[in-house]
Structure 1
Amino acid sequence: MFLKIHRELGGGQVVAVCDSELLGKTLTEGDIEITVTRDFYGDTPASEEEVRHALTHAGNANIIGTQVVEIAISLGCIKRSSCLMIGSVPHAQFIQ
């Protein structure tokens, strides 16, 4: 997985996490198109423990990929029903 924490001017942050194999790919489903970019999701590999820590402390997160979505579900950050499927790839955003 790749993890990037975006710092906002007001002191908040957005946690962005994607499954490793999705970086650089463009996913489409109907009118929806998402490109999983290094600019947004970063290129720093992260362990499951690091991802769990970041999501647990996230006020705002954007996640894409089966592995990271399963982690977020297990933490109670999101429900499976709140995921948007882009082809066979789950995507979710949450604000806590």
Structure 2
Amino acid sequence: MSGKIYVKIYRVQGEVLLAACDEELLGKTFREGELKLEVKERFYKGELVDVESLGKFLEEATIANLTGERVIKKAIELGYIDEGRVLRIQGVPHAQMAKMMW
């Protein structure tokens, strides 16, 4: 699986938030019924990397906002996201992850 994705890391109060999306979705808005998904540049646009490197970012993240076929497929493959918990808005997959710390 190849293709580029944007990843951006935020460090806030001990949390590590990862925002990741498929490259071509950046700046777009998707709507379905009451749901709205905005893939905002200021939130998602960070480093442009190969989807294969997503694992190292997810490993460090305590919270993740993930959008797009490649990003979601890789996160499921790596065991970070449960396929049954993926939301689709106008056909675009979106999921959020939070690691529970004990």
3-state SS of 2:47 partner = coil
Residue 6 of structure 1 aligns with which residue? Answer: 10
**Where in structure 1 are there 5+ consecutive unaligned residues?**
none
Q: Identify the match of residue 55 of structure 1 among 35, 54, 58.
A: 58
1:56–1:75: 8 Å Cα contact kept in structure 2?
A: no
**Where in structure 2 are there 5+ consecutive unaligned residues?**
none
Structure 1 moving runs of 4+ over 2 Å: none
Aligned-residue CA RMSD (Å): 1.1
3-state SS of 2:27 partner = coil
Q: Identify the match of residue 24 of structure 1 among 23, 27, 32.
A: 27
C-alpha separation between the residues in 2 aligned to 1:59 and 1:43?
18
> What TM-score do the two structures reach when normalised by structure 1?
0.92
Deviation at 1:38, TM superposition (A): 1.2
C-alpha separation between the residues in 2 aligned to 1:48 and 1:12?
23
Q: How high is the sequence identity, in percent, across the aligned residues?
A: 39
Matched AA of 2:34: D
Matched AA of 1:22: L
Residue 73 of structure 2 aligns with which residue? Answer: 70
> What TM-score do the two structures reach when normalised by structure 2?
0.87
C-alpha separation between the residues in 2 aligned to 1:16 and 1:22?
13
Bigger share in strand: 2
Deviation at 1:11, TM superposition (A): 2.2
C-alpha separation between the residues in 1 aligned to 2:50 and 2:6?
9
